[in-house]
A and B are shown apart, each in its own frame.
Chain A
Amino acid sequence: MGNYLIRRLLIAVPSLLGISIVIFTILALAPGDPFSDLATNPSIPPAVRMALRAKFGLDDPVMVRYLRWLVAMLQGDWGFSLVSRVDVDTLIWQALPSTLYVIGLSQVLALIVALPVGILSAMRPYSIFDQIANTFAFIGFSLPTFFTGLLFILAFSIKLHWLPFVYQAELPYHGWQWLWEQFKQSIMPIMVLGLFQGASWTRYVRASVLDVIQLDYVTTARAKGLRERVVILKHVVRNALIPVVTLVALQIPAIFGGAIVTEQIFRVPGIGSLLINSILANDTPVIMAVTFVFSCLVILFNLIADLLYGWLDPRIAFR
């Protein structure tokens, strides 16, 4: 186990280096310029733009820029945004709470929906309940979030005037009113993301419970005269959830990564919108930092998922 962990961590280092080289090169090859706004403005001479590029080192060869970034990064300096001239870590720390809150709750919602619905459907396959649940699950993960998001806005904000569609990170209210306003503004993005994720997880839960429920030891448990409740919860679900746990663990980095489209639609100032705005503005240091943190998390949670798997299912050995 210890050896395995060390080996995996050592493998992670070249992977991360490789990832950072690839992202940096792609960004360097991509056309565009953080100061392109200045290019079409006749009152700012091109010399000003060129001086800014030179000052921020954008004219140096890609290799030099990469090494400079890497050295700074290893020392914990993430650089600063070329657009807002603010340190990158400040920007990330500021965007993180909204993302954690909205995406985190949506994942919780997804689990709350997926677990009971998936298990109940699997207990009585092809019953009316199962078929209705399946239909909704298919609809749920077939509709992209940008579509359901707009649909929700149209229905609840524009037609019914119930909910606001502009999200605010900090509401100027206190106490119960704050809670109520917070609920009102975040319910739509949470529902959109949660139901989308919940729909696909429902299918996974159902499939893995169906696999387990037919096994002999379940029949044995029933033959022993155990109550159905105990059979399902203790014997079936525990084993059926092993693949689901992996799935959920792998999904956790996404919570940090944010949801680009949904955040943009509802104006949630999270990591996703930070990333897309930086990409649109060609703000390399911010893009690098966000994508790099994201790759670290993906690698880390892959490892955690593998370890969890072994812990849940002792038949799997680490070699």
Chain B
Amino acid sequence: MNEQRLRGLIERVKSGDMSRRSFVRKMLAVGLTAPMAGMMLSHNGVAWAAEEAFTYKPTKAGGGGPLKLLFWQAPTLLNPHFAVGTKDQEASRVFYDPLAGWDSDGNLVAALAAEIPTVENGGLAKDGLSVTWKLRKDVKWHDGQPFTADDCVFNWEYARDPGTAAVSVATYKDVTVEKIDDHTIKVIFKKPTPYWADAFVGIRGMIIPKHLFADYKGSKSREAPNNLKPVGTGAYKFVEFRPGDLVRGERNPNYYKPNRPFFDTIEIKGGGDAVSAARAVLQTGEYDYAWNLQVEDEILKKLEAGGKGKVAIAEGGDIEFIAINRNDPWTEVDGERASMKNPHPTLRDKAVRDALNLVVDRGGVEKYIYGRTGVATANFLNNPKRFRSEKTKWEFNVDKAIKILEDAGWKKGSDGVRAKDGKKLSYVYQTSINAPRQKTQAIIKQAAQKAGIAMELKSVPASVYFSSDVGNPDTYTHFYTDLEMYTTTMSEPDPALFMNQFCSWEVSTKENKWQGRNITRWQNADYDKAYRDAEGELDPVKRAGLFIKMNELLIGDVAVIPIVYRPRPAGLNSKLVAQLSGWDNNTWMVSDWYREA
């Protein structure tokens, strides 16, 4: 799909020939994220569709009784700028709002903003150097103080101060925020920025009140009493918080959206394990919502059979894939293995990588292991099954793999393992300890064996594998094996940060203490150029074309082998109507959740 075709499609949406939704689906099929598709449309004068597929039925606020959420990992803090894990972000989102959030179709939906900035309404600068947000004038903090532009400016100062130790520092450190008037702010970028909706939007955009945090900026940030007692603008007011156990809130009678929220109280209980959380929602109905149900689909289906609850799937961009090491992990050069100076003896052969790609039985992995929670895919950038484009088909074909290897001169030895010039196709394949991953390893090993590729399976405890320990050779960033498998999460709606994990300058080496994000150490000049171009490209359509190209370069060269795309499952009571989004927190629209009669 090239730029011209994209423009054609956009024209069709404009003229009403094609629905917005099917355009978004087409974009997903070529590996773009839904929010990007939304931005493309907006840039070309197609208005953001506000809460299209969702109708809010209750005609008055309150009267819905309690809303009970169950998290198998308990929230431990309620300051969104400190929220390390999603559990904390989800809980903070109940009380705090950003200026806008992302829905599942990639629409930017205004929360504290009066409108979404566009080029037409003057919000977006044509040169891409700034964005002006108009704020709602009817918003009050839970303690009655008015919400103003000063609060936004304060959040920027608060988060960018390294002394605060905020996890949102990266979002705010390179921008400047100016107050235009009491209800208008301007975010100024250092260079033309195509993806302008980062600061004050979505997960890291939640805004805390200036009048309660102003004295606790910088190194005193930890002492703020309101870190544990949020006073926000959200649909629910804070009542009680017990870190690691319980969060309780009650209906905010002064909420700015009319007739919302429906429930009188909200409760987030934490702890336990995912399976019993699924049970409490799907089977016994003790709770209304269960967060992040990382449970085998087979079990979920059994629990769902009772009819008390259903599994809701929020589509995001997380992908489980196999990384292929470009360098030799078994010889040490200058104190590091897999050094950039020492290419991998066999995996640099494209024929071998093609063969590996063919022996990965994605269909089997989806069918027997992940079910609805892991959908087979050939793309690295998000690609749900039902939107699969023809170009990006995957194939499981051991015979074809054998033929490719035979043609390339890799002959079977007496031990059944193929070799050429004394170099054997024998690999160590590592991942973290996690039942579905070990099953996936076994499926792949078996097929590889048939093709004459030997695999030794290695599993590392997750706490080691995903740690940033410089001294430990078993972390996934050291990647001291031939192959490794993990899920890379894509919480960000924009793929720029996600795709930088294949840029040449990001290679993970001893020099940068294995902090570079390019773990496969794959380098490609065309990819780098496309990435650089995308960084400064203001036309969302051209930019989208660049990301499609990057994905195709990656898949075409078999730099990685995507296995399954992993949507995030949550448990919902069958009467509960909730709008979940894979591009934002699950609780991003908790103000609009309601129970059907």
**Is the pairing of A and B real?**
yes
Q: Is A39 an interface residue (CB 8 A)?
A: yes
Q: Is B63 an interface residue (CB 8 A)?
A: no
Chain B, 139-163, contact with A by CB distance < 8 Å: what is the 0/1 string?
0000000000000000000000011
Q: Which chain B residues lie closer than 8 Å to A33 at the CB level? A: 467-469
Q: Which chain A residues lie closer than 8 Å to B245 at the CB level? A: 94-95, 169, 269
Chain A, 165-208, contact with B by CB distance < 8 Å: what is the 0/1 string?
11011100000000000000000000000000000000000000
Q: Which applies to chain B's interface (DSSP): helix, strand, loop or mixed?
A: loop
- Which of A50-58, A65-73, A112-120, A223-231 forms contacts with chain B? A50-58
**Range class of the A interface residue count:** 35 or more
How far is it, in angstroms, between the C-alpha of A154 and the C-alpha of B523 when the chains are bound?
54
How far is it, in angstroms, between the C-alpha of A55 and the C-alpha of B487 when the chains are bound?
29
Partner of B276, one of A80, A84, A153: A153
Check A31/B77 contact, CB under 8 A, given A38-B167, A48-B170, A264-B271.
no
Task: Evaluate contact between B170 and A44: CB separation under 8 angstroms.
Answer: yes
Q: Which chain B residues lie closer than 8 Å to A161 at the CB level? A: 284
Task: Evaluate contact between A94 and B461: CB separation under 8 angstroms.
Answer: no
Check A42/B243 contact, CB under 8 A, given A33-B468, A50-B515, A157-B284.
no
Q: Which chain B residues lie closer than 8 Å to A44 at the CB level? A: 167, 170
Q: Is B497 an interface residue (CB 8 A)?
A: yes
Q: Is B119 an interface residue (CB 8 A)?
A: no
How far is it, in angstroms, between the C-alpha of A86 and the C-alpha of B244 when the chains are bound?
11
Task: Evaluate contact between A45 and B82: CB separation under 8 angstroms.
Answer: no
- Number of B interface residues in the complex (CB < 8 A): 59
Task: Evaluate contact between B84 and A37: CB separation under 8 angstroms.
Answer: yes
Q: Which chain A residues lie closer than 8 Å to B286 at the CB level? A: 164-166
Residue of A nearest to B501 (CB): A42
How far is it, in angstroms, between the C-alpha of A153 and the C-alpha of B275 when the chains are bound?
13
- Which of B348-356, B416-424, B488-496 forms contacts with chain A? B488-496
Task: Evaluate contact between A86 and B77: CB separation under 8 angstroms.
Answer: yes
Q: Is A148 an interface residue (CB 8 A)?
A: no
Task: Evaluate contact between B489 and A80: CB separation under 8 angstroms.
Answer: no
Partner of B222, one of A48, A49, A85, A91: A85
Task: Evaluate contact between A55 and B244: CB separation under 8 angstroms.
Answer: no
Q: Which chain B residues lie closer than 8 Å to A50 at the CB level? A: 468, 515
Task: Evaluate contact between B488 and A40: CB separation under 8 angstroms.
Answer: yes
Q: Which chain A residues lie closer than 8 Å to B463 at the CB level? A: 30-32, 36, 280, 282
CB within 8 Å of A: which B83-111 residues: 84-85
Q: Which chain B residues lie closer than 8 Å to A40 at the CB level? A: 466, 486-489
How far is it, in angstroms, between the C-alpha of A78 and the C-alpha of B491 when the chains are bound?
35
Check A37/B491 contact, CB under 8 A, given A48-B167, A164-B286, A166-B287.
no
Task: Evaluate contact between A43 and B491: CB separation under 8 angstroms.
Answer: yes
Task: Evaluate contact between A166 and B280: CB separation under 8 angstroms.
Answer: yes
Q: Is A107 an interface residue (CB 8 A)?
A: no
Q: Which chain A residues lie closer than 8 Å to B464 at the CB level? A: 31-32
Check A39/B468 contact, CB under 8 A, given A48-B169, A83-B84, A269-B246.
yes
Task: Evaluate contact between A84 and B244: CB separation under 8 angstroms.
Answer: yes
Q: Is B498 an interface residue (CB 8 A)?
A: yes
Q: Is B292 an interface residue (CB 8 A)?
A: no
Check A51/B271 contact, CB under 8 A, given A36-B466, A46-B515.
no
How far is it, in angstroms, between the C-alpha of A36 and the C-alpha of B477 when the chains are bound?
12
Residue of B nearest to A274 (CB): B244
Q: Which chain B residues lie closer than 8 Å to A91 at the CB level? A: 243-244
Q: Which chain A residues lie closer than 8 Å to B136 at the CB level? A: none
CB within 8 Å of B: which A85-115 residues: 85-86, 91, 94-95
How far is it, in angstroms, between the C-alpha of A84 and the C-alpha of B74 when the chains are bound?
11
Task: Evaluate contact between A168 and B269: CB separation under 8 angstroms.
Answer: yes
Tell me the minimal C-beta distance from A177 to chain B in angstroms: 15
Q: Is B524 an interface residue (CB 8 A)?
A: no
Q: Which chain A residues lie closer than 8 Å to B169 at the CB level? A: 48, 51
Residue of B nearest to A49 (CB): B468
How far is it, in angstroms, between the C-alpha of A23 and the C-alpha of B487 when the chains are bound?
33
Partner of A166, one of B272, B468, B500, B501: B272
Q: Is A121 an interface residue (CB 8 A)?
A: no
- What is the interface of chain A, defined by CB distance below 8 A to chain B? 30-53, 55-56, 80-81, 83-86, 91, 94-95, 153, 157-158, 161, 164-166, 168-170, 264-267, 269, 273-274, 277, 280-282
Top 3 A-B pairs ranked by shortest CB distance? A269-B245, A84-B76, A46-B515
